[in-house]
Structures are given as C-alpha cells and as structure tokens.
Structure 1
Amino acid sequence: MDAIPFALDGYLAADPEPGDGEDTASWRLNCSAGTDHLMEEAVIPCTTTQPEIAHTLLTERQPGDLLRVSGHLTLPDTADGVIQLHADTLEVLWAAPVLDGDGDDADTATTTDTDADRNSAIAALADALTSLGQAAPGSGQSIRIHISPTGTLGSGLEHCHHFDLPPALAHRLADYIDAMNCSLDSQHPDGVVLDPETIADLTDLFEDIDLIGLTNTVLNATRPEYRPAVTQAMDDMFGDIPAPEDTDP
C-alpha cells in the first residue's frame, strides 16, 4: 500500500532503540486526544533512516518528550499488520525535565499523595478543556494546548493531553484567566512590602495635591445646603480643611 504523507504529535513512550541499519532508530509515540486521524489514545511505531534524527533520538531524547514527527505513514495489508510512521523530520515541542536520580528517596506516601492531587487536577482541567472544545469546535485554524505532568513521563503518559480550540474560544479563555488573575491580585497577603521606587512615586503624587485648591473647587461646586456634610466628609479624609465661608462664593 502506498505511503501517506502524515504529521503526528505525541509523547515519546519509551527510550528509542537503534534500528536494524546504521544511523537508523525506532521509537513509539503515545498520541492522546486531539489527533484528527487516530483514535483518542494510540501508540504509533515510528522509524527513521535520517542520521540526524536517529542521533538526536538516541542521544538527546527521553520518555515524556513531546515530539512532532512528519513523514509517510504506511498502512498494513492485513488486519493484523502494523501501522508505521517513517519519519523525515522531527521537532521537539516540549522536553520533559531530567530528574536527579542521585538524591535521597522521597517519602513514598507523601509522593503518592502529591501525585494523586496533581493527576486529579490534570484530569479536571482536561475534562474542562475537552468540554470547552466540544461546545463550539469552530472551523478553520485552531490553537493547540498541551498539558502534562512535569518530570520524566515514562510511566505517566496517560496524564498527557492536548486540545484544539478555535481562536474565539481561546480569547474567551484568556479573558477568564485575566479576570481570575485580577481577583487574585486584589487579595493582598499580609506583609507585602512596596519597593522604594513605588513608595517614592506615591509620595510625590500626594505631595503634588493642593488640598486647599481641591477643597475650594469641590465646595464651590456644591449646593450651599450640602456644604457642611461635604466639608465634614473631606475633613474626615484629609484632615482640617477650610470652612465653606472661607471659600469663594
């Protein structure tokens, strides 16, 4: 069967292995939700005869790396055959952090609880983004969002997801995040210390305010019967201010 030009995003499922020939390599990509031509979760075998790609995979890449592979997809002639992607180009979309294996072992129970909290948060976010994308799939160009745990992902690929959103929904999502950030910024924690430059700017701002001129302007624009109440309010805010009779009529 003829090979089909194909591009694929997926997480490196295991360490790549040398191929049968010199300067070749084989590996497997775990493809999660969002792939148009494949089922929701699939592991696709890949090979390459490109020396640079083979060298990169065998010496630099590790399980959990998010890769974009393009080349030609060969379909099996029989039902029990194997699909295989022969790669011509390789792009690293995200590199999984390298964990330090020389340190002391962490407490297993604490690590398990932390992982469970992280994985449940990823699942909740994945459900929300999936629902958002299904609500209005849109047409034309889309924006892809990838989420995954940090660290080496050789045993955690089931928690890796990517989603396609139309630009209109991406704008709405950005607005919601901005609103959430504004809410968080308004909750000033105790002990916040302003930097000296900000304090100096605020000091200059208040020193430039002419309280007498401001008072006269406000009271001159206030009906006479309301001036005592306004005077009291401004006195509470700024301290002693001129009485209404001291201002111009």
Structure 2
Amino acid sequence: MPCPATPPGTASWRLISSPANCAAEEEAVIPCTTSRPDLAHILLDECQPSDLLRVTGHLVLPDTADGRIRLDVDTVEVMWEAPLPEQPPKGPADDHSDRDRAIHALAEALTGLAYKPAADEQPDIRINIGPVGLHGLDVAHCHSIDVTTAGTHKLADAVDAMLATLNSLPPQAGTGLDPLTIAELTDYFDDLDLTELTRDVLDATRPEDRLAVTRVVDDWFGDIPVTGIDDNDQ
C-alpha cells in the first residue's frame, strides 16, 4: 500500500516483481520511492493494492551497511486495475438474529473450558468465534476463548462422541408417518378380536397366575368375558 514519504510530495511503497512464468519463490519484493509529486498523487490517490504496474527508474544503493537497495521510480503506468473490494450492502440490514443466537450459545457452551486461575495449566490455545463476512456491527458477536491443551482434548473427545451418536441414528425421512402406514395400522387394530387375544394370553399363562393376568388385561381393554373365569373373579 503506497504511503506518503518525506519530504512532502513523495511516496514510498513495495513492488512485487513477478516476471512471466516465474515460480512463487522467484518473486522479488522491491522497496520503491518516487520524488515526483505527479507520480506520488497517482500512487496515493488512484492506485490500490494488487494493481498491475509498469515502472521505470534507477536502483539506489543503501545509505547504511544494513540498509536495502531501493528503486527510485521515474515513471508509473497502470497496466491493470484490481477489482475494488466489496463494500457492505446498503439499505436494510439482513436479519442475523438466529445466527447471532447460535454464536452466543456456542460461546457460552465453550466457556466451561476456559482457563480458571485455580488450575495449574496455563491456557495456550485460543478459539475465535464470529460471523463470516465480518462487518463493523458484527464485532459485538465475536468471542475469543482461551483454553488449555487438556481442555481442548476434552472438547475434541466430546465432538467425536456426538458425531458417533449422530452417525449411529437412522436417517430421518420426515417428521410424520406416511398416510398409508397410518391406514395399515388402523386396519390392523380394527381387526383385533380382544376376546380371542385375551383367551390366547390366558392359555399361555400358568393357572395360578390367570386371575392376576385377567385383571391386568381388563385394566387395558375393559371388562372382557373370558370362558372359564367366573364374573365375580374378573
């Protein structure tokens, strides 16, 4: 990013020299200066980072032994202008209340892992939580939580356990039963003969337990006449 230099009317910046077909490690960062007010105006007021520039000038040796060679620029030509950074949208703000509540809930849940003065281990890991595409108004919804290595291991184990539980559950096709399934269940229960069902249960029950089982069945389905059981015992 160009910045004003001394004396007034001059500018300094860093130029990334990237010849065609060169590898990233072959690029060079060249400190540049210009003492021409017209070039300084272009660099400070019209150019932006990532613009493709063509410059000419002469190299200047450093003033001290630990200084750097710099390029004193005589001409600047803008070959390509980088796209302007996206600006926050104007107009009514989007409703991010649900997102903000989710961030707050997660931050509160992680607060239990935060460092406590009584602990022997010092925090050495920082967890940052915030909205994507951060704007000025979103700063209030950013959280930084310092945790220890041991606390981070606990968090990782808890997340692994949660994922294992979720992966073991059958896929949810929907929240309601299929209408055909409901109809089939209704027909099935409508076709049940409670008297026959009770008789089958009692036939499979030991004689000394039949009275107690009959009373339980009556509690479920009402007073059902059963052959072999006196009405006074039902």
| Bin for the TM-score computed over the shorter chain | 0.3 to 0.5
Please report the TM-score for the alignment, with normalisation by the length of structure 1: 0.33
> Per chain length, whose mean CA-contact separation is higher, i.e. which structure has more relative contact order (CA < 8 Å, sep 6+)?
1
Please report the TM-score for the alignment, with normalisation by the length of structure 2: 0.34
